[in-house]
């Protein structure tokens, strides 16, 4: 299937590792020109080199998404490259913790990473998408949107909020050829998850693979997701072919969520 994104400009945030990185590589393999964003210039340069070696086109912009001034610089850099038609909004997860222990400042800090940059970037990108009468916006959230996870109160709350924003926006821009969706990954073996499981294994006095096996036993698929399995769905949702799919919260979770919808 031709995804219809060759030559289109894509913006991928949180691209230095994990899911964002995998989506950037896959978009480039499908012929999109990719702008990759994260804080680490070195990691982004390494990614750009890998994409170029693979025959693709990529540009790195190192910014801290929580800083409004840096976001403005990002938008200015991206505008020099053309009109962004595909936007993957992704960043790191907020700190763990119980709801009853949260302070208002914890919400502010988490929103500065998970919400505000997404809204700022959408506001900057929408006029270009509208002029093209084509756009794809996809936010990476979590399966916590459908089934809140114990001790991840900030993630549960803020990702649900982002999903509500996406759904509202989706209906506002649907007639302009712009789709807005969210993708909730299930447990996926990324660098970040590796750290979490290493910590869990150490606490329980078991080895890393045993910690993964414990998690896998909770998932109907019997295993955690491969990065490529998340990236493939994301790239389809960002593609021209996903033209009638909007306002949806798609879970890629190996069947983990028990809920009907």
Residues that bind ligand NAD (CB under 6 A): 14-20, 38-39, 64-66, 90-93, 113, 140, 142, 185, 187-188, 190-193
Nearer to ligand NAD, 21 or 134 (CB): 21
Residues in the chain: 261
Nearer to ligand NAD, 126 or 140 (CB): 140
DSSP category for residue 222: S
Sorted by sequence, the CB contacts under 8 Å of residue 150 that are 6+ apart come out as none
DSSP category for residue 253: S
**Measured distance CA(12)–CA(137) in Å, rounded:** 10
CB of 181 to ligand NAD, least distance (A): 15
CB of 117 to ligand NAD, least distance (A): 7
Residue with the CB atom nearest ligand NAD in the bound state: 18
Nearer to ligand NAD, 33 or 146 (CB): 146
**Measured distance CA(171)–CA(161) in Å, rounded:** 16
Alpha helices in the chain (DSSP H): 18-29, 41-53, 68-81, 104-114, 116-132, 153-173, 191-204, 208-216, 227-237
CB of 178 to ligand NAD, least distance (A): 23
CB of 17 to ligand NAD, least distance (A): 5
CB of 39 to ligand NAD, least distance (A): 5
Nearer to ligand NAD, 3 or 145 (CB): 145
Residue 84 tokens, joined? 């962004």
Nearer to ligand NAD, 30 or 253 (CB): 253
Strand, helix or coil at 86? strand
């Amino acid at each position: 299937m031709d995804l219809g994104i060759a030559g289109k400009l894509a913006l991928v945030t949180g691209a230095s590792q994990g899911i964002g990185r995998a989506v950037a590589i896959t978009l480039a393999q499908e012929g999109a020109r990719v702008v990759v964003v994260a804080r680490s210039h070195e990691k982004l340069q390494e990614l750009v080199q890998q994409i170029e070696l693979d025959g693709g086109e990529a540009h790195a912009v190192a910014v801290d998404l929580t800083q409004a001034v840096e976001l403005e610089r990002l938008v200015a850099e991206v505008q020099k490259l053309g009109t962004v038609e595909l936007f993957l909004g992704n960043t790191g997860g907020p700190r763990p913790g119980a709801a009853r222990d949260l302070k208002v400042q914890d919400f502010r800090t988490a929103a500065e990473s998970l919400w505000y940059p997404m809204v700022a970037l959408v506001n900057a990108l929408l006029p270009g998408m509208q002029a093209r009468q084509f756009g794809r916006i996809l936010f990476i959230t979590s399966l916590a949107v459908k089934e809140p996870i114990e001790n991840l109160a900030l993630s549960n709350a803020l990702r649900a909020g982002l999903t509500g924003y996406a759904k509202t926006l989706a209906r506002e821009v649907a007639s302009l050829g712009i789709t807005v969706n969210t993708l909730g990954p299930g447990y996926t073996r990324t660098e970040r998850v590796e750290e979490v499981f290493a910590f869990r294994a150490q606490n329980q006095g078991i080895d890393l693979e045993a910690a993964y096996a414990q998690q896998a036993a909770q998932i109907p698929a019997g295993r955690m997701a491969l990065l490529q399995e998340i990236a493939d769905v994301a790239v389809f949702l960002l593609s021209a072919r996903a033209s009638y799919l909007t306002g949806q919260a798609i879970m890629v979770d190996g069947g983990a969520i028990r809920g009907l919808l």
